[in-house]
Amino acid sequence: MKAFAAGIAHDIFTHKLLMVRALAVGLAAAIVTGQLFVLPLMHLLLPDGLSNPDGSFSWYRFGAVWAPLHGAHGAVVGWIIARLHRSVRTAALLVFVAFGLPAVIPDLVRLAVQQSPRFLPVLARTFWPVACLVISGIMFVRSHQPLPAFVVEK
């Protein structure tokens, strides 16, 4: 685990321009795919948002429509970042995620301290797309490095 963290830190500090490019590519991919696909589908499928008619949060609407849609959005953005930065894909994905976390952490801390009933929905809405982004970027993109000799069948 230490070697994994050291390898990612090494990639980040030796490939600074690639990390900036990963951030720019990720933001562009998130904005373009979100504006072209996610927002129109959300307005089509959930015209009232994630709330029930009485104003309470709807876990059914979240699980049936929002989670698959935003999970797929996160997976597409993660795949794009990893595909364009194969040699440093894990570091590029983590830089993109780390860039966005400071925007949501204060709201999560505030809701946790206030013991708000909105804490769990906001937590789920925050980390579900991030988890899909990282998992798809790491698992579905092959690196340029050849497989070790003991893995290759002869």
Cα separation, 94 vs 134, whole angstroms: 8
Q: Give the torsion through C-alpha atoms of 140, 91, 21, 101, to 10 deg.
A: 100
Q: What does the pLDDT read at residue 145?
A: 59
> Considering the entire predicted model, what is its pTM?
0.80
Token pair of 82 as six digits: 């990893």
Q: What does the pLDDT read at residue 151?
A: 46
Mean pLDDT for each consecutive 10-residue tract of the chain (154 residues)? 80 90 94 92 81 75 84 92 89 91 86 86 86 86 58 48
Residue 73 three-state SS: helix
Give residue limits of the domains in the chain: 2-139
Contact (Cβ atoms closer than 8 angstroms) between residue 81 and residue 26:
yes
Cβ neighbour number for residue 70 with a 10 Å cutoff: 18
